[in-house]
Amino acid sequence: MAHSHPHVQVTSVESGVFEITIGGRTARLSAGDSFYVPSDVHHCAVCIEPGVLIDVFTPMRGDFVGA
């Protein structure tokens, strides 16, 4: 489901295949690819083939701390 947040997000695709939509533009990404989401931009990811995404947020997301 598309969402946005005030945090900048950088994500690396470790494995699998994902369809990523950022600000209305969609791309299919796989292992070795990465993407950048600016603050407050709607985005979503759909898993096409099972895999792993590694997310980095700045500033730190308080709702993830201790989760």
CATH number at residue 48: 2.60.120.10
Q: Average pLDDT, stretch 2-20? A: 98
pLDDT-based confidence at 67, cuts 50/70/90?
low
Domain that holds residue 31: 8-58
> Measuring CA to CA, how many Å separate 62 from each of 43, 54, 58?
20, 17, 10
Q: Is the peptide bond before 50 cis (omega within 30 degrees of 0)?
A: no
Question: What does the alpha-carbon distance between residue 34 and residue 55 come to, in Å, rounded to a whole number?
Answer: 10
Sign, CA dihedral 54-55-56-62, equals negative
Per-residue pLDDT reduced to its tens digit, 23-66:
999 999 999 999 999 999 999 999 999 999 999 999 888 887 76
**How many domains is the chain partitioned into structurally?**
1
